[in-house]
Structure 1
C-alpha cells in the first residue's frame, strides 16, 4: 500500500480519506448557514445528507429542524407553481389492492413521475412491508340503497334519509406532509397514514366500527402539543327513519395504541372526510326536522380541536331550501378558508367560502359568500377542488378522471389533462407504468413535503 509523504508517518491513503472532515466543516461554514441550506433542499436530499456527519444527522433529527422545514415547505408552496400528488388507482371498484402509488404532477403537461410506491399488510406498519393487504371483497366505492339495506340486515330500506352517495366520497386528507387514507370497503376499519417524502407508512389501530360500515374521519395537527391527530365519527345504531340514533366520536394521536373517546356529536354526521381549518373540523349533519324528528334537514357542525367538543356552525344560505337527500356536499379548504362545494346543476358548481374563525373581523360570526361559479362543457358526477395556485387558479378533479383549472380572474375553465387516457405515468426516467383495462379512480391532493413522522410526533 502506498504512503503519502510529509504527513508524519506511514498512514494508508484509504484510511486517511475516511477520516477527512465533511466539506462544510472543513470550509468553516457556520452551523446556522448549513441549516438554512438544508431547509431549502427537497426532503430526499435532506435525508441523504444525514450521512455526511453526526452533527448533520443530529440537526436533521432535531424536532426544531422538522418544524422549520415544514414551515419553509408550506410557505414556499404559496409562491411557486402548485405541488400536487396523484394517488393512482386508489380505492377502485372490484379490484384487490395492497399498494399505494404516489405520483408527482406539476399542474401542466401529460407526465407524472412516481414519487413512491408503498405496500402493506394488516400487521406491517412500515413502508417496506412484504405483504399485500388482506382485502376480503370488492372496494365499496358507491354506497347505494341496496348496500345500506344489506348493511343493517334490512333495518334501513329505500326510504332511509341517509344517502351517502350524495355526500362526499371519502377524499384523502393531507396534513403537514402526511396523507391519511381510509378504506372504502364496507365495514373496513382500516386507516393508513403515510409520508411519501420519507417513505414511511403506518396502519392505525382499528377504530370503532360504524353501524352502516362507512367511516367518517378528520385529520389535523394539534397546535398546542404539535401532535398529529385523527378524529373519527361513527354511528352506534340508527333506525330506518333516523329518529332513534346514537353517534360517537373518538380521537387518536399518531403513535398511540388506542383511540380515546371524546364528546358525542349532537346530530348524524354525513360526510366521510373533513378538513381542519383554523382549529376546527367541519361536518355536514342531518338535523331533526319537526314534527317527526327525523333527520331530514341539512346543517353543519364544527369540532373544536382544542376543547374536543361539537357546536353548530352556520350553513350556506342555499342549504335552507334543500332536503338532506338533495345535498351534494363536499367540504374542503380553499386559500385558508372553509369551502363548500355546491352543485346546483349537472354541469355547474358553486364554491362558497366562509371564515372558519368563531368571530370574523366585522363581528357576528362567520358568514358565507359565493366565491365563484364554474360551468363545464359537460355534465359530471363528482367535482372536487383540491388546490389554489399562486396565479389565481383553482384546480378541480372531475369524476376522479380529469384535471381542470379555473382562472378566477378571467373566469375561464381550462382542461388540463385526462388522467385515464392522456397521462403517462413514469416509474423511472425510462420506464412507463402500463395500465390494464378497467374503471380506474385517481385522487389528486395538494401536497407539501415534510420530515414529520407517521409515528409519534
Structure 2
C-alpha cells in the first residue's frame, strides 16, 4: 500500500492543534519539524492559551498539603502527586500564585521558583537577601508574596513584601519586584504608610492573605482594621509597579471579616459574618466603585454544615455552579439556583489542603528554566525525600495548614 501524505493548510492544522491538551501537543512536536516549529511558536502558544481560557478547558487544580497534587478540573476524580523543582526535605512548599499555566512556589525567602507543571520547565529566581532595617534591635519579620503578568511589557513578575516589627513597636517594610524578562530584582522605594500594617497574626492564620490575589493586572491584599485604620483593600499594579487603595461597595452590611478572591478575572470581596454566612461581591469593572455587584450568598443552612472560611475557586462550564473550598480541607459544588451543595470526593487527595486553579499551557520560561536540569528528580530521590519527611512527621511534629 503506498504511503499517504496528508498535507493540511496551516490554518486548518492550527485550528485542530489548538483544541488539544498540552500533553498531546508535547508529543505531537515529534511528528514533523513543521509541527514542532508551529507548536513552539509564540503566536500558537498565545492562541492555545486564549482558547483554553475562553472555553474553560485544560483547567486543573493544584492541592497543597505537605506535598503538591494535581487534579483535572473537568473530572475532579483523581489527584496525582507532582514534584516542584525545589529542595524540599524539612520544609513545606508554598504555592503563592498561578497565572497562564505558570505556578509560583517557594519554601523560603531565598528559594523561589516559577514553574510550568505541564511542560516541566522552571525558572529559579536569583537570591535576593532581605535587608533588615538599621538599628540595634533585630526585628521580627513577616513575608507576603504575589505573582502575576505585566501584559504591557509581556513579562511576569513576583512581588515580595517584608514587614518588620521591632520590639519597640517600630514598623517598616521592604518591597522588591522580580521580572522574569530581565531575571532580576529591583526595589520599590516609595511605599504608602499602610503597607507596614498588613500583618496581624490571627487574621493571616485564618484568612491566608499572605499571598496576593491576582485580578485585572494587579495583586491585592487586605489591610485589617487596627492601628487607627479602617479595613482596606490594597492593590499593587504590576505594570506601573505602585500601590493604591481599591474602593469598596457602599451598601454592605457591617460586622464582617473581609477576604479576597477572584472569579473569571474579577476581584471578589468575601464578607464573612462570623461563619454564619458569606456574601460574595465582584468588581465587574475594575477600579469603578459603582460596579461592585453581589454575586451570591453562602450560608450554613444552604451547605448543611458549619464552616469558618469559604473561598470560591471557579465556575462550572455551564456557569450554574461554583466550586467552593471550605476551611482548607473540603471542596463543594455549590448550585447557585437551588442554593444547595454537593461534596467533591477526589481519590488520592490529602485530608486537608489549600486549592488553587491553574490552566495548562505551553507558556515558556527563560534562562535556567529551559535546560534539561528542569526535569523532575529521579524516583529514588523522591522516595528518599518522602522517607525523610515521613520519619520527621512520625516524631509528632504537625503543622496546621
1:245 equivalent in structure 2: 171
Q: TM-score, normalised by structure 2?
A: 0.75
* Alignment partners' CA distance in 2, 1:61 and 1:399: 40
1:208/1:234 contact within 8 Å kept = no
SS at match of 2:39: helix
Q: Deviations over 1:194-221 (max 9, x none)?
A: 2121122343333554865542122211
1:274/1:332 contact within 8 Å kept = no
* Alignment partners' CA distance in 2, 1:356 and 1:179: 26
- Whether 2:309 is the aligned partner of 1:371: answer no
2:96/2:105 contact within 8 Å kept = yes
| TM alignment of 1:7-406, pairs within 5 A | 26-77=5-56, 83-87=59-63, 90-92=64-66, 100-107=68-75, 111-114=77-80, 117-122=82-87, 133-135=88-90, 172-183=96-107, 188-209=109-130, 212-235=140-163, 237-239=164-166, 244-254=170-180, 256-262=182-188, 263-268=190-195, 269-270=198-199, 271-286=209-224, 294=227, 296-316=229-249, 328-355=257-284, 357-359=286-288, 365-376=289-300, 377-391=304-318, 392-406=320-334
Query: 2:347 is matched with which residue: 416, 424, 440?
Result: 424
Tell me: CA distance 1:194–1:408, structure 2 relative to 1, closer, same or farther (3 Å).
same
1:384/1:396 contact within 8 Å kept = yes
Structure 2, unmatched stretches of 5+, are: 133-138, 200-208, 370-401
Rg bigger for which structure?
Answer: 1
SS at match of 1:447: strand
How far has the Cα of 1:50 moved from its partner? 0.9
1:314/1:367 contact within 8 Å kept = no
* Alignment partners' CA distance in 2, 1:308 and 1:404: 36
- Whether 2:356 is the aligned partner of 1:445: answer yes
1:86/1:104 contact within 8 Å kept = no
1:8 equivalent in structure 2: none
1:374/1:413 contact within 8 Å kept = no
Q: Deviations over 1:348-405 (max 9, x none)?
A: 222122235234xxxxx45534322101323223322111223321111112221112
How far has the Cα of 1:282 moved from its partner? 1.7
1:174/1:219 contact within 8 Å kept = yes
SS at match of 1:259: strand
* Alignment partners' CA distance in 1, 2:53 and 2:73: 17
Tell me: CA distance 1:373–1:193, structure 2 relative to 1, closer, same or farther (3 Å).
same
* Alignment partners' CA distance in 2, 1:406 and 1:447: 20
1:172/1:445 contact within 8 Å kept = no
How far has the Cα of 1:296 moved from its partner? 4.9
1:173/1:180 contact within 8 Å kept = yes
* Alignment partners' CA distance in 2, 1:100 and 1:455: 24
SS at match of 2:344: strand
* Alignment partners' CA distance in 1, 2:229 and 2:287: 26
1:178/1:193 contact within 8 Å kept = yes
Q: TM-score, normalised by structure 1?
A: 0.66
Tell me: CA distance 1:240–1:412, structure 2 relative to 1, closer, same or farther (3 Å).
farther
Q: Which has the higher helix share?
A: 2
* Alignment partners' CA distance in 1, 2:230 and 2:129: 26
* Alignment partners' CA distance in 1, 2:228 and 2:112: 28
Tell me: CA distance 1:278–1:249, structure 2 relative to 1, closer, same or farther (3 Å).
same
* Equivalent residue pairs, number: 345
Tell me: CA distance 1:399–1:192, structure 2 relative to 1, closer, same or farther (3 Å).
farther
Pairwise CA RMSD: 3.3
* Alignment partners' CA distance in 2, 1:366 and 1:274: 23
Tell me: CA distance 1:408–1:101, structure 2 relative to 1, closer, same or farther (3 Å).
closer
SS at match of 2:78: strand
* Alignment partners' CA distance in 1, 2:252 and 2:176: 28
How far has the Cα of 1:224 moved from its partner? 1.0
* Alignment partners' CA distance in 2, 1:47 and 1:171: 25
Tell me: CA distance 1:34–1:379, structure 2 relative to 1, closer, same or farther (3 Å).
same
Q: Deviations over 1:235-282 (max 9, x none)?
A: 1x334686x422232211226443111242431334311222222222
